[in-house]
Every structure is written in C-alpha cells, then in structure tokens.
Chains A and B, each alone.
Chain A
Amino acid sequence: MRIKSITIGLVILTCFQLQAQDIVKDTLLLDGVNVFSSRLEEYGTADKVVELEGKAIDFSQQTNLSDLLKRYSALNIRSYGVGGLSTVSFRGAGSSQSAVLWEGVSLQSPTNGSADLSMIPISFIDNVALQYGAGSAMFGSGVIGGSIQISTQDQVFKQNPFSLELLQQVGSFDRTYSGINISKSNENYAFTFRAFNEYATNDFPYYNRFSQSEVTMTNSAVHRYGVMVEPSFRINDQSDIKIKYWGQSNAVELPPTAGQSQQRDDKQDDVFHRTTAIYTRDVVSGRLKAQSSWLYGKLIYNHNAPSISNMWINEVQSDFVLPQTTRLQVGINYTYETAEVNSYGGIAPSRNQAALFALLKKLFWDKVEVAVSAREVLVDGETTPFVPSLGINYQMRPNYALKFKAARSFRIPTFNDLYWVSGTDSGNPDLRPEKGVSLEVGQIFELGENNQFNVEVTAFSNYINDWIQWQPNDQGNWRPVNVVEAWLRGVEASGDYKVSFNKDLGLFITAHYTYTKATKEKIEEDGNEADLGNQLIYVPTHQGVFTASLQYHQFMLSVNQSFTGNQYTTADNNERWQLDDYSLTDVSVKYQWQKGKHAFDLAFRVNNAWDNDYEARSTYPMPGRHYNLSLNYTFN
C-alpha cells in the first residue's frame, strides 16, 4: 500500500494539470522499447480492464478487497453478511467462474472453487486490476466471467534506508484495523514487511423481517491477522529474484440467517500460507521468467476435522521482442493440487495440471494492435477445452479507440464437485469442465479540451455450457451435474471526469454502470420448463456505483453512491422471493497534512448514511448507518 493515500491526494491535485490517461492506457507497441509488464497489460489488448488506483479511491478507508470493490466497481459482490464469505461475480457468471489472482497465481480454492475477498486485507494490496470477460487463454481455468488481479508494488532496487506506514481504523461494532508496512532497499536488495490485525464483533442492530422485531446480530465476530514478507535480491544487471510470503489467520463466527434459529454458535477458522518466488532474467530481445508458488489452506468448521488443501504451481515463460512490432510469450505451467477433507470419506484426492500457452501480439499500420493467445491444459493427462482468444484494438483517432475480443474459456470441477460425500449426497467423478464462448465490443472516448472526460462502453455476450450445479435427483439425493446452459450478455459503461477550478479546488468523478441479462437457455430432462429464459438467481439486471470527490486545499469530501437492482432468488423468478434493490450512500471527509518526511491522513466516514435496511444475500442482514475513523501515517 506504501503511500497510497498521500499519492492519491497528490495525484488528484496534479491530475488537473496533466492529460488524463486513466482509462485509455496506451498499450500500443513502441518499437524497440524493451520493457515487460504483466501479462494482462501486455496481451490484454482488447480486454476491458479497470485499475483501481490513482483515482479518487481511498484504500486507507477500506478494510478489505470486498469493501473496496463494493464501493468502487459495479461488480456483483456476493456478501453473506457483514463478516462472512464475500465473492465476486463478473458479468453474471458464477463466483467460481470469476478468479482472484495474486501475483498471477489463482487463489480459487481447489476444494470449493471460491476465493473470499473479505480475507484480502487492504494493506496487503497496492494494485487492483479488474479484467472483464473470458481470460482462460491468459490465466487458465476459472476465468470465465473475469478476474481480479491483485499485487503489491513492484520492488525497485534503489537506495531507501527506511520507510514506514501505519494505518489505524476504528469503527462501529467494535471494529478495529491496525496495519504496519515497513520497507527498505538498496541497489542489490529490497525488503518489505507488512502486518495487520482486524477485529469486529459486528453486533449491529437490525430489523428482523421474520420475527418482526428489532434484534441484535449475534455470533458474528471476526478476527483476522496476518503478515506479508517480501525479500528481493538483484543477482546481476540482468536477473533478480523476488520472494513473497503471505500468512494469515481468519477466525469468523457464522451468524444465523434472519429466518433461522438465533441460537447458532457455528464458527470457522481459516488459516493460509502463500509463498511465491519469481525469477526473471533479461536476455537479448527478451526475458525469461520462472515462478514457483505454494498455497496451503486449512479450514476448520466448528470442531470438525480440518479440511486441508495444497497447491504447488510452477510456471516458466519466455518473452520475445521480435522485429516489426511483434511480441511473443510462450510458457508452460505445471500445477499439483491435493486436498484432505473429512467429507471425501477417507481418500485424499490429488491431480496434476500441465499447460502450454502462447501469446502473440503485433501492431499494424501504427494503429491496429492484434493479440492472439491460446492455452491447452491437461488434467491428469486428459484434455480440457482448447481456449484460444483474439483481441483487436483499433485506435481510430487519438481520442477514440474501438476494441473487439472473441475468446473461449473453461473451468475444471473442484474437488468438492468430484469427491464430496455426506449422507446420500455425493460428488460426481464424471463431471466435465465448464466452457464458455464470449464476444465483446468496446469503445473508448476521451472528451474535453484536456481529455478530462473519459468514457468506456462495452457490450458483451458469453455463452456457457456444462455449467456445474448441485441438484437433487429422483430420490432427493444431491449431486453436481453439468446441467446449466446460460447466456450472459449486457452492457457496461464507465466514466471519469476531472476538473480543476483553480489550484486549490478540484473535482473528480468516477462512475460505473452494468446491465446484465443472464438467462437459462436449456431445460434439462424433467426440469421445469417455466425456468427457460429466466434470469439466473442473484444476478441483478442493473448495478452502478458513483463517486464524487471534492478537494479543497488539504480537505477532501467524498460521496460514494452504489445501487444494486432487484435480484431473483428463485429459478422461477418469483417476485415474492426476490431480493429487493438497495442503494447505499457513504460520505467521507479527509484531512491531509505533511511535514518533512512525515505525512498524516485523517478520515471520517459515514457508511449507509440513510440507514437503509438491506440484505446483499437473502436473509443475511447488513448493518444500517455506521461509522469509521481512520488515521494513516507515513514516513518516507
């Protein structure tokens, strides 16, 4: 996170003088420049990518990635209560079809396929990029709807004796968040240490619609803490090695839903250790990169035997800068996964994934960039769908670009899908991978004298086959089957606007809107014909966020408004059970103060200012109006 809040302030101040360049990232190839960035930046030529940084986004006032995305993306964040599981759905796809990648490594659990955004603390992430649409050719299994790419600042080998950042938040419902980030570096070595501790009882009052009374949320405390250590070494002018370790403990109580017996005392303990080591070596006209990662997860539900998963991910890739504005990346990936889960009935499944991928891009006539990529993954020797992708970015005019992308995507079944057994419910070893075919067209406009108004509009269509769903059979025994065929399509619009009235006063506005139609396209044998063409459950048709920040001297006033439309909770789209739309307004004021190497940043925020009653997931109540105070100190 480094000096995020200060930089944001400075960025906002300085941006008024600068040419706006947030949305249109000039990805076009510059001949002869030998700089390598992430795979997404390099080859996501026609992908819609939103980077959550450098705008009016204040990381230091958030707790975790889930908070951040709820306020600043129009993504569908599925939150099971305030401290519970929080996952993302891109463009109407399922949560397990929308990946979270940390330093390029997928954090989707091999057992249940989900990645909990509430377990990603805000002070452990510096960069967040949202990649919309099919991304299996770039990132492998599970990127059908899109992906969230998180990372820390890239380590640079330069003299920096010591820098420090402290973050302290306090808020309603006994919430505290404390974070410390320390970094130092010299020409040959860089080191960063981060730690955080978060606690909340979350005993907020709410109106229980079942008992029709004001009650207090029970059994909903969370306690999370963790460390992240990043040592990096420069081996010589051409090569370096960067190591990252992230360990975290998450103790979460599972509150009863509004309709359930209020005497629930379930809890869950999640511990993980994640390590990755990245070696890069620059060679003539290219770069070699090797990365090895190990992800360990242990989950204990109540006092049951722990569920343990291990993933060992190895990737080697070569980048080539070829003549005539052409770039190529080829690579191999080998991943080994195992799990020990009590409900797998005594067997510990494991599997091997071996993948070969290639990405190529070329610039034509200085204005048309074409990227082609493909990946093939073998799972224990069995082929999975071949996933090619084609992206074209046509920079028609300096202030107008047209993008087109066509891609296939897939997701392999989770271990739970394959091996679960409980009572008469059981996994299905015969499951096939889910697969998607997507098309999208995007346009980017830059308007205004200084291009201070940016708009990106994207239309997408994604057809998914063999979507895995658990359902009861004739005997009422639940089993997962490759049953759903769904068509996800819609329109997204994003806009930024910046203006400076004078050197002390500026305004920044950012907004995202999403329209999603996600329908069931085929009814299985003996299925309910009436469900055909119905909207998938928990996919709002309309969703939007809007943030306006006004900066005056060292003060900043921000208003964040989000809207989530009605969501059906039943496949027959019965309005009786629909989750009502809700809109939330947060208001914050911030004061920034800097003296020499010391910078302070004090912010106060009112969340859900209108005290609206709402549920983000049916029967999981969310808190009304509540408050947050944060103090951020940096020494640099």
Chain B
Amino acid sequence: MKINNNPFRILSLLLFGLIFFTACSDDDRVTPSTPGEDGYFILNEGAFGAGNASLSFYDKETGTMQNDVFFKANSRDLGDQAQSMTIIDSFGYIVVQGSAKIEVINLEDYKTVTTIDTEDGLVSPRYIIEVSDNKAYVSDWGSDGLTGTVKVLDLETNDITKSIATGAGANTMVKLNDRVYVANGGGYGSDNTISVINSTTDELITNIEVGDNPKALQVDAASNLWVAGSGKIAYNADWSVNLEETTPGFLAKINTASDQVEFIVNMTEKSVGPGNLSIGPDGDMLYFNYNGGIYTANTTQEASDFQISSFIEKSFYGFGVDPSTGDFIGGEAPDFTSGGKVYQYTESGDLGDEYQVGIAPNSVIFK
C-alpha cells in the first residue's frame, strides 16, 4: 500500500465505481439482431493500481466462458481498472479508467484496432455512448474526481473535439432523441444532478436535480428516464453511520418531454444502494441492487404506493439483463484479490450455470 492517504482514496474509487451496463438503448440505429443473441462480454475491472483488468466472453453457441480474451488476442494486459465497455457498430470500446484510455477492439477476434488515450485528451474516462454515426460522448471524472465533463469524440478521427462541463463524477449516459442525459454520480465528492446535453449542438441544456449521487440511468418503453442513486453517507464521530445526516438511495422518474422530475422514491434502508440499474427486454421492469440483493420495480407504477420486490438475495458487483432472453446475469467480486464469478439466472430468478471469470466483474455487455 502507498502511504496513508493514497490507498483509501483508491478504495473509494473502487467504491464509487458501482457500475451498470448501458447499452445503446436508443433506437436510431437499425440493428440486424438483438444484443445477447451471440453471447455477452464480462468486463473484469481488476484491482486499482494492479493493472489486472481483463475481458471475458460467454459464447452462447458453445456454451463456454472464454476468459482473458483481450490478452490472448493482443499479448498484453488490458490495463488498470477497466470501467465499462460499449459496442458501437462492430467494435467494442473498452474504457480503462486507471490507464486513462479507450481500447477499441474488433468484436470478432478481440484485437485492438486503435487506442484513444491521454494524448487525445482523456483524463479519467468512465463511459462511452454513440450519439451519431460519427460521434460519441465519453464521460470523464477529471483528475480530481470532482470536475466531471463529457468529451465529444469524433469516431472517424478519434479526436476529442470538445469538452462539456457537467457535474462531479460524470458517470453513465443515455441518449434519447437529440438529448443525452448524464448522471453526475459524485466522483470523489458528491453531486445530485442529471446533466442534459443537446447532442446536435453539444451544448449543455440544463441540470435536473434529483437525489444525492445519481449513478445509473435507464429509459423505459414509455420514454421515461429512470435514475438510480446511492445517496450520501454521513458518519458520527465514532465512524458509525450517522443515519440522521445520511441521505437515502433512491429511484427517480423523469419525464423526458418536459425534463421534469415526476417523482423520487426514497429507499427505506440507508447506505445500501441502489447504484446500479438495468431494464428488462420489454422496457417495463427495472433491476437494481439494494440492501445486499437484487430488486425489481415495474416502471408503470405511480408514485403513491410504489412497490419494489426482492428478486435475488445475493449481492453482485455488476449485472445485466439479457435483451434477447430476459435472463439475469450477475457478476460477483468476492474481493479484489481473487477471480470473480458469474451467475446466470432465468427471467424468473432460477439459478442456472456459474462461471469463473476475472477479477471484479463489473459489467455485462451483450453482443
């Protein structure tokens, strides 16, 4: 461990790195097949500073989990703290936050096509989404983990053409029509806003206030934006959690026609999530982590009497719902010094196969 301050700052980075998978949930691109039909990638984040991130692929045709595919294809390690991966066209964009780079790989042979890095202007990148045929947005924490930005990436030249200031710990993004919503998850500090960017002009339109530390976003079938936030933890002098000052985690529903918050549902238990959000194939069922397990909530509910139900009584570091089958895929990180495990559940929550994967599986990327 480094002296004193350093390791725990690092730990806190891991901590804030509760991840979820944002697919290109927008529909302005015609996809010939539903993601998940071929299989899915598991991105293994690795331990901070250890440079042991890796990529696994579950091949549905053969029913096998292939670990370490990036290393096998490229004869080098993926890097330090792989945060997220997004499929754009036939390429996988792997955002490696600790290494401050994006590895662009060919989805067929996993070989790197190009690498976008600090020389191109990345500092502490988190997520990437495609916003048009030749443009993508990259959320970035900045060197202090507080001054978050969204960087505009030209997909043809791989140059960053603009940097848009958003909020602390710019995290996951979703695109709906010509707007991109950015969850300002707090980074090394805290924030309580969703930034809205016009994806044509690359200008910030507004910031929508929600609860503390919004981490994850999903758009439902009725084009509502759902936000999962983890709340903010406060401590007493003896380092027990100060429940008075601690703000609860929440789910928020935003009407994207008006960009107004329709309602916020605060969780009853504090400091136990949610920070990770997925949506079922029909776009009407939210899956999120809360209180040591996975819960679901129907998106058609009203604020009064909003119900959440326990789905799986197990905690996952990262998870995703297969758009082609509705299966739930959960990644377990027992600690950050051993390989993790992936559990496959059916849509009704029955446990199927389990697979060994790399260190700290933080997301599921459906191919």
A570 & B6 in contact (Cβ 8 Å cutoff) = no
B3 & A268 in contact (Cβ 8 Å cutoff) = yes
With both beta carbons as reference points, the residue of chain A lying nearest to B79 in the complex is identified as A259
User: What are the 6 closest A-B residue pairs judged by CB atoms, nearest first?
Assistant: A259-B51, A261-B100, A259-B80, A423-B12, A572-B338, A301-B5
A429 & B238 in contact (Cβ 8 Å cutoff) = yes
A576 & B11 in contact (Cβ 8 Å cutoff) = no
B8 & A618 in contact (Cβ 8 Å cutoff) = no
Binds A, one of B13-21, B35-43, B58-66, B197-205: B13-21
User: Which positions 309-337 of chain A face chain B at CB distance < 8 Å?
Assistant: none
B338 & A571 in contact (Cβ 8 Å cutoff) = yes
C-alpha spacing A369/B218, complex, angstroms: 75
Residue A345 CB within 8 A of the other chain: yes
Enumerate chain A residues within 8 angstroms of B359, measured Cβ to Cβ. 570, 577
A-B contact pairs, 20 of them (CB 8 A): A85-B2, A114-B3, A210-B77, A210-B99, A257-B80, A259-B51, A259-B80, A259-B98, A263-B143, A307-B5, A343-B5, A347-B237, A421-B235, A422-B11, A423-B16, A427-B239, A474-B292, A476-B14, A528-B338, A619-B80
Distance of A108 from chain B, by nearest CB (Å): 13
Enumerate chain B residues within 8 angstroms of A577, measured Cβ to Cβ. 50, 52, 359
With both beta carbons as reference points, the residue of chain B lying nearest to A569 in the complex is identified as B50
Residue A27 CB within 8 A of the other chain: no
Residue B188 CB within 8 A of the other chain: yes
C-alpha spacing A266/B14, complex, angstroms: 19
User: Which positions 252-287 of chain A face chain B at CB distance < 8 Å?
Assistant: 254, 257-263, 266, 268, 270
Residue B118 CB within 8 A of the other chain: yes
With known contacts A476-B317, A619-B51, A301–B6 Cβ distance under 8 A: yes
C-alpha spacing A201/B239, complex, angstroms: 41
B11 & A259 in contact (Cβ 8 Å cutoff) = no
Distance of B292 from chain A, by nearest CB (Å): 4
With known contacts A419-B239, A425-B15, A571-B337, A260–B49 Cβ distance under 8 A: yes
Distance of B78 from chain A, by nearest CB (Å): 9
Residue A80 CB within 8 A of the other chain: yes
Enumerate chain B residues within 8 angstroms of A84, measured Cβ to Cβ. 2
Enumerate chain A residues within 8 angstroms of B123, measured Cβ to Cβ. 261, 263
Distance of A62 from chain B, by nearest CB (Å): 22
With known contacts A212-B76, A423-B12, A423-B188, A258–B3 Cβ distance under 8 A: no
A424 & B15 in contact (Cβ 8 Å cutoff) = yes
Is the contact region of chain B dominated by helix, strand, or loop, or is it mixed? Answer: loop
A210 & B292 in contact (Cβ 8 Å cutoff) = no
Residue A475 CB within 8 A of the other chain: yes
Residue A32 CB within 8 A of the other chain: no
C-alpha spacing A254/B7, complex, angstroms: 13
Beyond contacts A260-B51, A478-B12, A570-B337: 4 other A-B pairs, Cβ-Cβ < 8 A, are A210-B99, A259-B80, A261-B99, A345-B239
What residues of chain B have their CB less than 8 Å away from a CB belonging to chain A?
Answer: 1-6, 8-9, 11-12, 14-16, 18, 49-52, 68, 76-77, 79-80, 98-101, 117-118, 123-124, 143, 188, 233, 235, 237-240, 271-273, 292, 315, 317, 333-339, 359
User: Which positions 189-221 of chain A face chain B at CB distance < 8 Å?
Assistant: 209-210, 212
C-alpha spacing A439/B143, complex, angstroms: 50
Enumerate chain B residues within 8 angstroms of A262, measured Cβ to Cβ. 118
With known contacts A257-B51, A570-B359, A619-B80, A475–B14 Cβ distance under 8 A: no
A257 & B338 in contact (Cβ 8 Å cutoff) = no
Residue A537 CB within 8 A of the other chain: yes
Residue A574 CB within 8 A of the other chain: yes
Distance of A418 from chain B, by nearest CB (Å): 8
Enumerate chain B residues within 8 angstroms of A254, measured Cβ to Cβ. 2, 6
Task: Identify the interface centre among B16, B79, B101, B335: most chain A CB within 10 Å of its CB.
Answer: B335
Enumerate chain B residues within 8 angstroms of A530, measured Cβ to Cβ. 338
C-alpha spacing A475/B8, complex, angstroms: 16
Encoded as 1 (CB less than 8 Å from any B CB) or 0, chain A from 218 to 257 comes to: 0000000000000000000000000000000000001001
C-alpha spacing A261/B51, complex, angstroms: 11
Enumerate chain B residues within 8 angstroms of A346, measured Cβ to Cβ. 237
Residue A502 CB within 8 A of the other chain: no
A478 & B51 in contact (Cβ 8 Å cutoff) = no
Distance of A96 from chain B, by nearest CB (Å): 10
B273 & A475 in contact (Cβ 8 Å cutoff) = yes
A209 & B77 in contact (Cβ 8 Å cutoff) = yes
With both beta carbons as reference points, the residue of chain B lying nearest to A266 in the complex is identified as B6
C-alpha spacing A420/B9, complex, angstroms: 11
Distance of B123 from chain A, by nearest CB (Å): 8
Distance of B94 from chain A, by nearest CB (Å): 13
C-alpha spacing A574/B18, complex, angstroms: 25
A261 & B118 in contact (Cβ 8 Å cutoff) = yes
Enumerate chain A residues within 8 angstroms of B3, measured Cβ to Cβ. 85, 112, 114, 116, 268, 270, 299, 301
A475 & B271 in contact (Cβ 8 Å cutoff) = yes
With both beta carbons as reference points, the residue of chain A lying nearest to B97 in the complex is identified as A261
Distance of B224 from chain A, by nearest CB (Å): 27
C-alpha spacing A347/B237, complex, angstroms: 7
Encoded as 1 (CB less than 8 Å from any B CB) or 0, chain A from 95 to 109 comes to: 000000000000001
With known contacts A425-B11, A527-B334, A475–B5 Cβ distance under 8 A: no
User: Which positions 452-476 of chain A face chain B at CB distance < 8 Å?
Assistant: 470-472, 474-476
Enumerate chain A residues within 8 angstroms of B339, measured Cβ to Cβ. 570, 572, 574
